Amino acid sequence: MLSSSYKRWSFQSEAICQLPTTEHTLVNRTAIIGLLQQMHALCRRNEKSHLDFDDSHSLTDTDYKSLLGLSKDNFQTVCDSVKDHVKETPSRSLQKSVAIFLCKLKTGLSNQILSTIFHTSKSSIRRATAAVRKAMLVEFVPQNLGFEHVTRQEVISCHTRQLAQTLFSDVEKNQAILVLDGTYIYTAKSNNFHYQRRSYSIHKGRPLIKPMVIVTTTGYFVSILGPYLADNKNNDASILQHIIKTNAEDIRSWLSEDDIFIVDRGFRDALPLLEDLGIQAEMPRFLEKGQKQMSTSDANMSRLVTKVRWVVESSNARIKRWKYLDKTLPTNQIPFIGDYVRIVCALSNKFFPPLSKCKSPDDDNAEAAKLLYLSKQVNNLKEWVQDHGLLRRSAQWKTARECDIMEFPRLDDEQLRNLTCGTYQLKLSPSYIQEHIEGECDISFHKDNDRLLRFKIQSRHTSSKQYFVWIEYSDCSVDAWYCTCKAGARVVGMCSHIAAIIWYLAKGRHEGETRGVRNWGEHVLDAADIPPSVDESDSDDGSCASVSEE
């Protein structure tokens, strides 16, 4: 390369004097020396144009966050924590090794691309990754993750939302609340057929392994256990039973009687074991056999659980923001996947803010009191609809665009959030409305009386299914609602179908906010979209005139 050649040359005035000259030259020796020196400096600068993490001023803080997932200061903290366990080499400093490891986790780039970016060999990339991974497991991870790094009282005092404590715990008891769920790390197929069968998930339809994630109600990672296989012997309930029976990380000593586990329905088979240990389990209710809809009580209690349980889903999403763990990993990385997940979670605990937090404990107490009050209420509108046979009554359907329904109250964002008890349903509302406003189906409504509207709305998941929605309102407020979907009877918030209609009538249509997500299907062909064929035998003789070229 040009830079390598100039690097070996020594520019001296005596060498310039030996150049042949003519009396008609237009460039003097000083200009030539200056030109060559400029070329030399340019080559030297280009030689160092690769990423340089030894000089903290060469990149901005935004560059650090984009490439490594951490700020400059946080990056230096990680370097300080592993400096006694990572050897520097002539081609690789401590900062460069840590940067290679974090960049691999954050971006998911291959070793070949990383070798180009960091101006080093692939083998050096592999050695740096292995060295930093082992070093972080020595001190950094144990100090920031695992049941031994945080006491039970610290979890209760510093990492538990007042909302969760008010909803589920007893004021007189000092109860720790943990949220559990399994996450997925996808792997390539293995030629070891026994392992391939054990790692294949029927639920996901691909091979994977499952770390068990245990977080607090603020999203703080308490521990990552596993990873586990993915066959039917390793469902969430079986994994939890294995963790408790093998006393992983001495979890039984950490837990205390009357502590609370927030789980989903996949843990149902582990409930008897938790009950034997005195652990209180909170889980969404099941739809009773033969029923098409949850009772109001069950739907309300399920909403209380999901009001707290969502944080573990967001915690899993935080793990997948490190793109290396969001891709399909080769089988030779399986021994290290658990280490990578634990390192990422330790980094999150150390440097990232809580996923769930409140403005003040008083706000949490007020919200929890409201939710508890609503959970004990009945859906009077549901009973009225059933008692008066409105499900069977015929209706003269009109589209919401044919009539403005001007008397429906206008609501702002805060009022809508108070009705829905959250933001999830409101975020889906534009997409629900978009399908009906721009798509093939309309929001149809019928007035059962002056203040009661009945709607038909398309199911989000099933094309052949529609739901009926009733909304009762007054001049300034929405007073009651009921939907025929599985969770439509609840009064702790509302289902997405009800929320979409209320959002559209009370806000979206007045502010032109009915546009949802762009329909990317416009750029993809549909094999079912075939124009009807024309039977030429049914055509008139004169309509099929021949065309000939003169």
Domain ranges of the chain: 2-47, 61-138, 143-359, 378-518
498: left (phi over 0), alpha (psi -120 to 50) or beta: alpha
Determine the 3-state secondary structure of 172 from DSSP.
Answer: coil
Q: What is the largest CA-CA distance in the chain?
A: 113
Quote the pLDDT of residue 219: 96
For residue 248, the one-letter residue type is A
CA-CA distances (angstroms) from residue 240 to 182, 200, 234, 248, 261?
10, 19, 9, 10, 11
Cα(470)–Cα(446) distance, rounded to whole angstroms? 9
Domain 143-359 CATH (choose: 3.30.420.10, 3.40.640.10, 3.40.720.10, 3.90.1150.10): 3.30.420.10
For residue 286, the one-letter residue type is F
69: left (phi over 0), alpha (psi -120 to 50) or beta: left
Question: Which residues fall within 8 angstroms of residue 302, CB to CB, at 6 or more apart?
Answer: 284, 285, 294, 487, 490
Quote the pLDDT of residue 29: 75
Q: Whose CA is closest to 240, among 225, 254, 253?
A: 225
Q: Whose CA is closest to 182, among 243, 122, 272?
A: 243
Quote the pLDDT of residue 78: 97
Q: Which two tokens stand for residue 235?
A: 């469902």
DSSP label at residue 325: G
Determine the 3-state secondary structure of 111 from DSSP.
Answer: helix
Quote the pLDDT of residue 10: 44
Quote the pLDDT of residue 464: 79
Cα(341)–Cα(345) distance, rounded to whole angstroms? 6
Question: Which residues fall within 8 angstroms of residue 151, CB to CB, at 6 or more apart?
Answer: none
Q: Which two tokens stand for residue 293?
A: 């809809």
Quote the pLDDT of residue 542: 52
Tens-binned pLDDT, residue by residue, of the chain (550 aa) = 434 443 434 445 565 566 666 666 566 778 778 877 877 676 566 555 567 888 888 889 999 999 999 999 999 999 999 999 999 988 899 999 999 999 999 999 999 999 999 989 999 999 999 999 999 999 999 999 999 999 999 999 999 999 999 999 987 888 999 999 999 999 999 999 999 999 999 999 999 999 999 999 999 999 999 999 999 999 999 999 999 999 999 999 999 999 999 999 999 999 999 999 999 999 999 988 888 899 999 999 999 999 999 999 999 999 999 999 999 999 999 999 999 999 999 999 999 999 998 888 889 999 999 999 999 999 999 998 888 887 777 666 566 555 556 778 999 999 999 999 988 999 988 888 887 776 555 556 666 677 788 888 888 888 778 898 999 998 889 999 999 999 999 999 999 999 999 998 888 888 765 566 777 888 899 898 888 876 666 555 555 444 444 4
427: left (phi over 0), alpha (psi -120 to 50) or beta: alpha
Q: Whose CA is closest to 463, among 441, 480, 483?
A: 441
The model's pTM is: 0.84
Q: Which two tokens stand for residue 451?
A: 């203040």
Per DSSP, what are the bridge partners of residue 480?
A: 472
Cα(322)–Cα(374) distance, rounded to whole angstroms? 39
Q: Where are the alpha helices (DSSP H) in 92-145?
A: 94-107, 111-117, 122-138, 140-144
Cα(453)–Cα(309) distance, rounded to whole angstroms? 33
Question: Which residues fall within 8 angstroms of residue 8, CB to CB, at 6 or more apart?
Answer: none
Cα(243)–Cα(254) distance, rounded to whole angstroms? 13
Q: Whose CA is closest to 217, among 262, 253, 256, 274?
A: 262
Question: Which residues fall within 8 angstroms of residue 448, CB to CB, at 6 or more apart?
Answer: 390, 393, 454, 470
